[in-house]
Amino acid sequence: DGVILGRITFVNTLKYVFMATSANFGNMFSMAGASLFLPFLPLLPKQILLENLMTDFPELTISTDNVDQKLIQQPRRWDMKFIRKFMVTFGFLSVVFDFLAFCVFILLHATEQEFRTGWFIESVISASVVVLIIRTQKPFFKSKPSSYLLVATLFIVGATVIFPFTPLAEIFGFVVIPASFYASIGIIIILYVISAEIIKRKFYHIAARRPLDLPSSSLND
């Protein structure tokens, strides 16, 4: 049915917009904030480009993603105000955990290369995994993502973890980091996922009280 396919396309388009805007907004503030107290660039330009390339890979499969049935029962509308609220809310959430990672790396006496490698790993994995959280208004474990999205996400997570051990690492200025860094990054990402799920529930609960703020509001005939 063309109408249903159109609604699915619209919902998946919104997912991409939510993820891209909140991630870019958060990275911008994290990069700017880190430059205020670090004596070096938190990421080199080529590392930022690689980060963007890797985080974009799972998002390219969003067009194939499954859509919650309640989101396609009625026509929806484009709401820039809602998108802005989503961007700011989840963008600042990512900033909080970026700065948590910065503090941990400093406490671990990271060198410049270790700091950049650690933040690259934390940033790429968290940005990839959070896609599975914010792609649905339901608890993430109650809404199944498409196989393409899930496989792409797992691939990027695995590739990011092993990247410092590959010959390409030296080209991009990365180094092998100690196990304590990986353990710390793992804990930070787990806390980020839990926080994102809690914030998501609060966000949509508040939005539900003001239906006009929801992009899923039905259009008037």
Q: Residue 6 sits in a domain of what CATH number?
A: 1.20.1110.10
The burial class, CB within 10 Å (0-12 / 13-18 / 19+), for 195 is middle
Q: Is residue 52 part of a domain?
A: yes
Note whether 124 and 54 are within 8 A (CB).
yes
Q: Is residue 44 part of a domain?
A: yes
Q: Is residue 11 part of a domain?
A: yes
How far apart CA 135 and CA 71 sit, in angstroms, is: 12
One digit per residue, pLDDT tens: the chain, 221 residues?
788 888 888 899 999 999 989 998 998 899 989 988 889 999 999 999 999 999 999 988 998 999 988 888 777 788 888 899 999 999 999 999 999 999 999 999 999 999 999 999 999 999 999 999 999 999 988 989 999 999 999 999 999 999 999 999 999 999 999 999 999 999 999 999 999 999 999 998 888 776 544 555 433 33
Q: What is the pLDDT of residue 220?
A: 39
H helices of the chain, where? 2-34, 45-59, 80-107, 112-134, 147-162, 168-172, 179-209
Q: What is the separation, in whole angstroms, between the first and last Cα of the chain? A: 20
Could you give the 3-state DSSP secondary structure of residue 145?
A: coil
Q: Is residue 218 part of a domain?
A: no
Structure tokens of 60? 């390219």
Q: Is residue 220 part of a domain?
A: no
Note whether 127 and 190 are within 8 A (CB).
no
Q: How many domains does the chain have?
A: 1
Q: What is the pLDDT of residue 145?
A: 94
Supply the range of the domain harboring residue 57. Answer: 2-213
Q: What is the pLDDT of residue 171?
A: 96
How far apart CA 194 and CA 192 sit, in angstroms, is: 5
Q: Is residue 156 part of a domain?
A: yes
Distances (CA, A) of 203 to 12, 49, 60, 208: 19, 31, 25, 9
How far apart CA 135 and CA 14 sit, in angstroms, is: 9
Position of tokens 């703020």? 213
- Across the chain, which distance is largest between two alpha carbons, in Å? 61
Q: Is residue 121 part of a domain?
A: yes
Q: Is residue 47 part of a domain?
A: yes
Structure tokens of 4? 């249903």
